[in-house]
């Protein structure tokens, strides 16, 4: 299952957060759809995620799927959020939640 959301930042004055959800496997990963909802005190963001490598990614010996939001959203540095990830794979749906995470800026 995915590691966890990895927020990041851009150079000032335009600071934003991205959300990366990735899967590594030593076997080929079947087609999957990923949706996520990010909830903060001020707003809720929902959306579809796409695999930026179109299922062709590898990381060393591992197969990689690296999902990014189709549409962007903004979170503030230090803002607390909950991430709910919905994964549809081989006709099965799984929900994974990460609660009370905090946004941080990486430079």
Tell me, yes or no, if the pTM score tops 0.85.
no
Q: Dihedral of CA 22/38/71/49: which sign?
A: positive
Which residues make beta-bridge pairs with 69? 49
CB atoms within 10 A of CB 82: 15
Output 15 or 62, whichever has higher pLDDT. Answer: 62
66-105 tens-digit pLDDT: 888 887 777 888 889 999 999 999 899 999 998 988 887 7
The number of CA neighbours under 13 Å toward the Cβ of 86 is: 9
Q: Dihedral of CA 105/8/76/100: which sign?
A: negative
| DSSP E strand stretches across 1-107 | 21-25, 32-39, 44-51, 57-59, 62-69, 80-89, 92-102
> For 39-64, what is the mean pLDDT?
88
C-beta of residue 62 within 8 angstroms of C-beta of residue 24: yes
- In the structure encoding, which two tokens stand for residue 57, read together? 């990614």
């Amino acid at each position: 299952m995915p590691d966890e959301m990895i927020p990041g930042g851009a150079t000032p004055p335009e600071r934003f957060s991205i959300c990366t959800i990735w899967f590594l496997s030593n076997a080929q990963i079947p087609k999957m759809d990923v949706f996520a909802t990010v909830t903060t005190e001020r707003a809720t963001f929902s959306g579809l995620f796409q695999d930026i490598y179109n299922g062709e990614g590898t990381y060393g010996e591992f197969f990689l799927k690296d999902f990014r939001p189709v549409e962007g959203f903004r979170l503030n540095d230090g803002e607390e959020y909950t991430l709910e990830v919905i994964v549809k794979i081989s006709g099965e749906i799984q929900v994974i939640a990460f609660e009370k995470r905090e946004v941080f800026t990486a430079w």
